Amino acid sequence: MQSSFASDNFSPVHPEIMDAIQKANVGHAMAYGEDPWTEKMQGLFKKVFGPSTESFLVFNGTAANVCTIKHVLSPWQAVICSSNAHIWTDECGAPQANTGSSLLPIETKIGKISAEQCEKYLHGKGNPHHVQPALLSITQSTELGTVYSQQEMKNLADFAHKNGLLFHVDGARLCNAAAHLNVTLKALTTDVGVDFLSFGGTKNGLMGAEAIVFLKEGLAKEFKYVRKQQMQLASKMRFSSAQMIGLLEGDLWLRNASHANNMAKLLESRLKLSFPQLPILYPVEANAVFVKLSSFQILQKLQKKSFFWIWDKEQAVARWMTSWDTQPAFIESFIVELRNSL
């Protein structure tokens, strides 16, 4: 398949990551994370997020989210999240099936939730007839491509901690959010009160590696048993660790995310210039552009030329995602295809 706006999951592995894997592919090494690459990777996470950090690699983002919920919640407890959250809409009920805990979704127009919206779920605290909210989870950047500011995140963290909740970030695209805000990963997590996060690598140039990152001392106690029981302990972990080293040791995480974000802004500007009649539905702050076309048939016609996901069939809404490898030339050719399809 040629380049597309389908998903940053469609993009190839970054050459620097492929090189890091190849360099790790020499001789024998201890299995299950007892290797030098994993030790170095864990040190890098401490350097990036703070000295209290404890990090654990898993295979995919769903596992990262599920394992964290499994670790910190009991079955009678619940997660407050956005109605757009991946854990609510795109994980096939995995959080509920694997943890026994409930999800409490909040409707949102632009992907973000506020502390005020969360308050309604606190009314049942202490009542044995209701699930007990114990975790507040947000996605950064959101599923609609919007980004929480540092102050917005601090407000949510303060609200969570004031009410006895833990604060989790699904950071599948955390790097894109940090690039947009021009801040460090630590400034967007540890410094604003995040307790733990799912840190994405696959969408930002890795072959397949995600991390669960605990930011507060003591939170990771006995988590190694949860990871093993949830079938997420890799035997040849050095190859996953080598990928994370390649992403975090220098500025590759930032270069990749910044490029993807810049390509989304370029796509937005070209759309506004060439098709001012097409509504762009949400602020373009990370690497996603949501556009409403005049009919589902136009979406289908365009989709055959360059594949992308249709976000809302009834409303004829397309989601166009950019990646670390998206090039301006592809955007220009897509604009031509769109013009011919309208």
User: For the segment 281-310, what is each residue's pLDDT rounded down to a tens digit?
Assistant: 999 999 999 999 988 888 888 988 889 999
Task: Report pLDDT for 298.
Answer: 87
- The answer to whether domain 15-248 and domain 253-341 are alike in fold is no
pLDDT at 306: 86
Each residue of 24-43: b (16+ CB within 10 Å) or e? beeeebeeebebebbebbbe
- Of residues 286, 329, 291, 325, the one with CA closest to residue 308: 291
Element at 136 (helix H, strand E): strand 132-139
- Band (pLDDT 50/70/90 cuts) for residue 153 is very high
Q: Would you tell me how many other CB atoms lie within 10 Å of the CB of residue 13?
A: 18
C-beta separation of 331 from 263 below 8 A: yes
**Nearest partner of 166 among 108, 231, 101, judged by Cα:** 101
CA distance 168 to 33: 25
Residue pLDDT, tens place only, 246-284: 999 999 999 999 999 999 999 999 999 999 999 999 999
Buried b (16+ CB within 10 A) or exposed e, 190-215: bbbbbbbbbbbbbbbbbbebbbbbbb
For residue 170, which phi and psi values (nearest 5 degrees)?
-80, 100
> What pLDDT, in 10s, does the model give residues 196-242?
999 999 999 999 999 999 999 999 999 999 999 999 999 999 999 99
pLDDT at res. 1: 59
* Token pair of 277 as six digits: 């009649």
Q: How confident is the model at residue 157 (pLDDT cuts 50, 70, 90)?
A: very high
pLDDT in tens, 48-71: 999 999 999 999 999 999 999 999
Q: What is the pTM of this model?
A: 0.96
Neighbours of 231 (CB within 10 A): 10
User: Tokens standing for 203?
Assistant: 């969408």
Cα-atom radius of gyration of the chain, to the nearest Å?
A: 20
Residue 107 three-state SS: coil
Tell me which of 10-14, 91-95, 297-301 is least confident: 297-301
Query: Can you give the residue ranges of every domain in the chain?
Result: 15-248, 253-341
Strand order in the sheet with 288-292: 288-292, 317-321, 309-312
Name the CATH superfamily housing domain 253-341: Aspartate Aminotransferase, domain 1 (3.90.1150.10)
Q: Prior bond to 3 cis, omega within 30?
A: no
Measured from the Cβ of residue 278, the count of other Cβ atoms closer than 10 Å reads: 16
Distances in whole angstroms, Cα of residue 329 to Cα of each of 33, 252, 280, 326: 42, 23, 21, 9
Q: Looking at 119-133, 172-186, 292-306, which range is the least confident one?
A: 292-306
Please name the fold of domain 15-248. Answer: Aspartate Aminotransferase; domain 2 (3.40.640)
End-to-end CA distance of the chain: 24
Amino acid, res. 243: Q
Look at the block and give the residue holding tokens 């940090």. 178
pLDDT at 3 > cutoff 90 = no
At 160, phi and psi to the nearest 5? -60, -50
Q: What is the pLDDT of residues 25-36, one digit of tens each?
A: 999 999 999 999
Which residues are bridge partners to 137 per DSSP?
Answer: 168
73-86 pLDDT per residue, tens: 999 999 999 999 99
pLDDT recorded at residue 304? 86
Tokens of 232: 């997420």
